[in-house]
Structure 1
């Protein structure tokens, strides 16, 4: 099932943009542990947070989604 897959690319995009998960958590006003869980794909961000994250990082929302994980669902 999809729960065990890497559904988002947040960690990769943060590295590409030279930003930390701590920076993102401060920008979004959420706990660093929450962003850490998103980065490790142990939980997924709500759509609203995904949209805010894309805007903060200057990327399209689809850049944060691992398209390959959806092809196998």
Structure 2
């Protein structure tokens, strides 16, 4: 069974040309925490999602996987 993806943090970081370590420093968390968010092993809080969105200069909604299968808004 495949792991359910809830967030697109890794994709958004790549699009913003940022590294996990950059986000970890900005968020003041361990780089392993960011890695866990990027692999969807753990999820950030809503407050942290807003901080991440600010860091990558994106709408917070772009950090989440759409619940609508044909919705292209996550791209």
Normalised TM-score (structure 1): 0.87
Q: CA RMSD in A?
A: 1.1
Q: Aligned pair count? A: 67
Deviating above 2 A after TM superposition, structure 1's stretches of 4 or more consecutive aligned residues are none
Taking CA–CA contacts closer than 8 Å with sequence separation of 6 or more, which of the two structures ends up with the larger relative contact order?
1
The structure in which a higher percent of residues are helix is 1
> Could you list the runs of 5+ residues in structure 2 that have no partner in the other structure?
70-75
> Could you list the runs of 5+ residues in structure 1 that have no partner in the other structure?
none
Taking the aligned partners of 2:63 and 2:12, their CA distance within structure 1 comes to 7
Normalised TM-score (structure 2): 0.84
Specify the alignment match of 1:21 in structure 2.
20
Q: Deviations over 1:10-65 (max 9, x none)?
A: 00000000000110000000110000000000110011110000011100000000
Specify the alignment match of 1:42 in structure 2.
41
